Structure 1
Amino acid sequence: MSEVVGELTRAQEALLRPTLRLLDGKWAAFRIAVFRCTFTRDRRSIQAGRLHVQVDTFLTEFQSEGAEVPPNANGRALCNQWVNDQWLFRDHDAENNIVYSLTSSALEALDLVQSLSRDRVLVSESRLTTILDTVRRWALEASPDAQARIDRLNAQIKELEVERNRLAEGGAVAAASDERMLDGYTNLIDLIGQLPSDFKRVEESVLEMHRRILRDFREEERPVVEVLDEYLAKQDELVKGTPEGRAFDGAFVLLRDDALLQDLRKNVQVLLDHPASAVLDNRDVQEIRGAVSVIRQGMKDVLTQRRRLTATLKEHIVNHDVLQERELDRVLRGIERELVTWMESAGPRTAVPLELLPPTAKVAHLKERFWEPTTAAPPPPLEEAEDDTEILPTIEDLRMQGGPSLDDLREAVLEAFNRGGAGTLGHLFNALPLPLRRPVEILGLLHLASRVDALRDDTGTEVFEAIRPHGATRHFLAPAISFSSNEVTALKGVSLEGLSDE
């Protein structure tokens, strides 16, 4: 087979993959728009009924704007079709509700559309520097020559010592330019955007391997002990059996170090504190700021899938009744022997009357229960209510007993920052109006700080003077937090949908 024919075959196989099929066809833009507006980094799965209604709403909105949509389509039918096309994955959550989530192929397609819709430099200094640093590091580890490795390390040590001595003698620190930082931001956002699809691919690989093991269990005729031994052996090699599993195993060993993740969080904050980050939009800032969350959530999803499927296999092994299956097999084999004997003397059209179900008993009337005087007695008379009924609470009283007023708290933080008097959250809280001085509002402020990663371990504590709805004053100790300009900018774009008490 010539080279061009081989390339044609590889291209045809690539075009049949779900990733490219999602981007092909008349309704590709419609599918991409629905997926991007439905699934986000913080909302990875959606209940089936809610997604069906949401897709129906999108169809109505498209039609009202004159956009063309798939004919005779509804939310349920489209979701089922997308599951068959391997763009949506249907599963059960912890409450045993049916939920939808995007497959790794759909995530790859969305990442490709996102990268094509964002202006960026394809060849840049930061990208080439990343490649050179990666090649240099792996070449050092791959070299079998001990002297060559020593020479490489000595050269690196000498280069670092020269730079250290220059800075120690008062040399100027060459700060990165805005153009270089923007280039680095683009490269970093591109790398972070690939993480969800990579973790999803590992999760699907684990799911497929467990399905194959479960299928092998169902077809086994060996004793349960032998099957269990083989399962334990496969479980030990589960992660190392596929390229995705081996990659995740290496990442898991590297990223389960809390100190490393904390260092990553600090470095991200340093990047966002640079003046060049002011030109980034809120979505890009949230993408960079949520790098640690993406890594932890991806690892959590993969480990949860492994635990769920391991529990399923354990239940199958425990409930596998070999004796009952062997008894059924003997009955079926006996029926087959009798059928062969009967066919030796029976003609081709001979029939045997056989009742599959026993005849129904004909009973004219069957009393289900006997008469009981207590059940036939009328209910006791109602008691007359007194005239002096207690005063019912007002809507304002009920609202004061509810959760934190997140929208009002955010507006208070933004207003204080705009006035230039932004201090700690304790000073801000103690100056709020009485309706916003409830103890639960302290939790609301801490929640807003956590949404923009403003909670830090090195901050001290301060006193929050809270006032209960009935007027009593309470003092609480909470972290002394102050927002930076980048964190206030990120706070404006934080979605509080479904979290406010309104």
Structure 2
Amino acid sequence: MSFLELNARFRRLHKEHAAWRLLRSDNAPLILAFVADLFEEADEIAFGRAKMALDTELEHWREQGVIEVEVNAATYLRQWIQAGWLRELDDQLSKTDACEVALRFCRQLDQRETNATASHLRIVQDAVRDLSVAISPDPAERIQLLESRKAEIQRELDELEAGIVHELSDTEQRERIIEIYQLAAVLTGDFRRVEDEIRQIDQTLRVQMIESGGSRGDVILNLLEQEQLLAASDAGRAFDGFFQLLCDQNRSTELREQLKAILSRPAANNLSEQQARFLGKLMRELSRESGRVFQVRRRTEENLRQFVESGAAGEMRAVDRLLGKLERLAVCFKEADISMRHETSLRLDSGHVKIQSPDAWCLKMPEEQLDTRDVQEHINNATPSETMLRQLHAVQVLAVAEKLRKTLRASRIPLSIAGLVARQPIQAGLEELIAFLRVARAVGATELQGRETVEIKDRNGQRLKAEIPHYLLSAEQFPEQLEELIL
């Protein structure tokens, strides 16, 4: 690639890429420090909680003279969302792929491993060897490569049987465990990139619908033909392949046990507390992140259908035609040499409006006057009646969570709620079933496509059939202390 092509590409990235815009913003250190601290313990934060945290920091920054602009926290958060640094979904904030890239770049500047060359070379050699076997069309060549690997493994087995154990030096252990952490830390960024590409495909489809100019039936037909683009895209295929590996019980169990063994060895002392904690809950975080991608993809498909059914595409097409007509009229004004200062009889009342923030621009609706003439005051009873107590059948959600965790540990495989009900039949009716769903949402269970049907019993022994979302739970999704769950 020539110098001119590289220069054009880098100029475009410098202007358009959200990660580059974040790094060159005036308050980049403050923004990155706040975001890194905010998402240190969780990948999703409620918008209200983030606003309170940022309000506190803004007050400190103004006292220290770091910033002088009187802008509230909600406005800053909205600006960061619009810039592509944060994402909001169901009133929950999360980092985008651009934000992850910027944070990873800054951390690597201060955490460069100059002596990890041997570890990198070993990973490249292993990857090249595996790929050479996988893509070779010659059976004889494959056999030769596999035989050489077999001989290498047999040589190691013979040495172990002879009592010869080659241990890694402290430097090699440090290199390899840090390399494992760095590779694992990139996985969560891959999920952010998948979400961003799904949203980009959603926008592309909407633009195509608006520009198509066809009837609603044609648009619906086009949508049905292109709806599978979300799953057939590079991001969708990559995620599906990743999720299949994640759902492979043998691979997941093997990886989980090996991570526990590594963290129990002295080599784990080379990791910081935060790095060790991240590797300890890696499988749970991957399951939670994959559930988020399923949620984003399902919501995108639903929103596309609503976009078509509501006729919004036709309305936007009409607006686009009107804007085009206005642009042509404006061009005609210029060609006709009509002065923009030409006096007309039109007069518009105008004035000066001072707005501190978008929140101050909200119109206030007058409160309706309530008619309280027939309202009678009653003193509330401090003691509940026996009738009320008989209607209360409390289900202890924390006890339900403990029961579900024990069941999952005993099964050793992920189970849906229907599978859990088959092993732990529900006897308290819909209240206990709702407790199952609350626990699934609290632990971040993966929500699969489709729904499932369960049969339960109420307190009177009557059988009920309920259709519920299809959640997939595993014991690793539960924290050690169940009191940490938000139930």
User: TM-score if structure 2 supplies the norm length?
Assistant: 0.63
Query: Which amino acid in structure 1 is aligned with residue 103 of structure 2?
Result: L
Matches within 5 A, 1:94-133: 98-118=91-111, 120-121=113-114, 123-133=116-126
C-alpha distance in structure 1 between counterparts of 2:129 and 2:217, whole Å = 50
Q: CA deviation at 1:187?
A: 0.8
Pick closer, same or farther for the CA change 1:154–1:51 going to 2, 3 Å.
Answer: same
C-alpha distance in structure 2 between counterparts of 1:155 and 1:196, whole Å = 36
Pick closer, same or farther for the CA change 1:124–1:497 going to 2, 3 Å.
Answer: same
Post-superposition Cα deviations, 1:242-279, rounded to whole Å, max 9, x if no partner, equal: 3x333223322322212211111011011111112134
- CA RMSD in angstroms comes to 4.2
Q: CA deviation at 1:390?
A: 7.8
Partner in structure 2 of residue 289 of structure 1? 280
Q: CA deviation at 1:237?
A: 3.5
Q: CA deviation at 1:456?
A: 8.1
Q: Does residue 209 of the first structure (1) align with residue 207 of the second (2)?
A: no
C-alpha distance in structure 2 between counterparts of 1:446 and 1:191, whole Å = 35
* Residues 189, 288 of structure 1: 8 Å contact kept: yes
Q: CA deviation at 1:170?
A: 3.0
Secondary structure at 1:172 match in 2: coil
Matches within 5 A, 1:235-384: 235-242=227-234, 244-320=235-311, 379=376
Pick closer, same or farther for the CA change 1:231–1:443 going to 2, 3 Å.
Answer: closer
C-alpha distance in structure 2 between counterparts of 1:30 and 1:104, whole Å = 19
Matches within 5 A, 1:356-435: 379=376
C-alpha distance in structure 1 between counterparts of 2:374 and 2:215, whole Å = 63
C-alpha distance in structure 1 between counterparts of 2:269 and 2:380, whole Å = 70
* Residues 111, 193 of structure 1: 8 Å contact kept: no
* Residues 18, 85 of structure 1: 8 Å contact kept: yes
* Residues 239, 245 of structure 1: 8 Å contact kept: yes
Pick closer, same or farther for the CA change 1:187–1:378 going to 2, 3 Å.
Answer: closer
Partner in structure 1 of residue 57 of structure 2? 58
Post-superposition Cα deviations, 1:281-316, rounded to whole Å, max 9, x if no partner, equal: 220111211221232122111111111111222334
Query: Which amino acid in structure 2 is aligned with residue 10 of structure 1?
Result: R
Q: CA deviation at 1:54?
A: 1.7
Q: Does residue 227 of the first structure (1) align with residue 219 of the second (2)?
A: yes
Partner in structure 2 of residue 473 of structure 1? none
Partner in structure 2 of residue 465 of structure 1? none
Secondary structure at 1:238 match in 2: helix
Q: Does residue 10 of the first structure (1) align with residue 9 of the second (2)?
A: yes
Post-superposition Cα deviations, 1:7-32, rounded to whole Å, max 9, x if no partner, equal: 32233223232112212243111111
- Could you tell me which runs of 5 or more consecutive residues in structure 1 were left unpaired when the two chains were aligned: 333-350, 352-374, 392-401, 404-438, 459-490
Secondary structure at 2:84 match in 1: coil
Secondary structure at 2:46 match in 1: strand
Q: Report which stretch shifted further, 169-178 or 180-189.
A: 169-178
Tell which has more relative contact order, 1 or 2 (C-alpha 8 A, sep 6+): 2
Query: Which amino acid in structure 1 is aligned with residue 96 of structure 2?
Result: T
Query: Which amino acid in structure 2 is aligned with residue 13 of structure 1?
Result: R
* Residues 54, 73 of structure 2: 8 Å contact kept: yes
* Residues 195, 294 of structure 1: 8 Å contact kept: no
Post-superposition Cα deviations, 1:367-414, rounded to whole Å, max 9, x if no partner, equal: xxxxxxxx97795x97999xxx989xxxxxxxxxx99xxxxxxxxxxx
Pick closer, same or farther for the CA change 1:303–1:384 going to 2, 3 Å.
Answer: closer
* Residues 23, 109 of structure 1: 8 Å contact kept: yes
Secondary structure at 1:194 match in 2: helix
C-alpha distance in structure 2 between counterparts of 1:384 and 1:164, whole Å = 79
* Residues 80, 86 of structure 2: 8 Å contact kept: yes
Partner in structure 2 of residue 71 of structure 1? 69
Pick closer, same or farther for the CA change 1:166–1:11 going to 2, 3 Å.
Answer: same
Query: Which amino acid in structure 1 is aligned with residue 175 of structure 2?
Result: D
* Residues 108, 194 of structure 1: 8 Å contact kept: no
C-alpha distance in structure 2 between counterparts of 1:12 and 1:59, whole Å = 33
Partner in structure 2 of residue 83 of structure 1? 81
Query: Which amino acid in structure 2 is aligned with residue 113 of structure 1?
Result: C
Q: CA deviation at 1:193?
A: 1.5
Structure with larger Rg = 1
Q: CA deviation at 1:320?
A: 4.7
Secondary structure at 2:93 match in 1: strand
C-alpha distance in structure 2 between counterparts of 1:178 and 1:234, whole Å = 54
* Residues 14, 20 of structure 1: 8 Å contact kept: yes
Partner in structure 1 of residue 31 of structure 2? 31
Query: Which amino acid in structure 1 is aligned with residue 14 of structure 2?
Result: L
Pick closer, same or farther for the CA change 1:390–1:8 going to 2, 3 Å.
Answer: closer
C-alpha distance in structure 1 between counterparts of 2:162 and 2:380, whole Å = 92
Secondary structure at 2:227 match in 1: helix
Partner in structure 1 of residue 132 of structure 2? 139
Pick closer, same or farther for the CA change 1:32–1:173 going to 2, 3 Å.
Answer: same
* Residues 30, 69 of structure 1: 8 Å contact kept: no
Q: Report which stretch shifted further, 27-36 or 233-242.
A: 233-242
* Residues 115, 175 of structure 2: 8 Å contact kept: no
Matches within 5 A, 1:181-200: 181-200=173-192
C-alpha distance in structure 1 between counterparts of 2:379 and 2:246, whole Å = 68
Post-superposition Cα deviations, 1:57-110, rounded to whole Å, max 9, x if no partner, equal: 11122344x36135333312222322232212233x1xxxx3432211011111
Query: Which amino acid in structure 1 is aligned with residue 296 of structure 2?
Result: Q
Query: Which amino acid in structure 2 is aligned with residue 145 of structure 1?
Result: D
Q: Report which stretch shifted further, 193-202 or 33-42.
A: 33-42
| Percent sequence identity over aligned pairs | 22
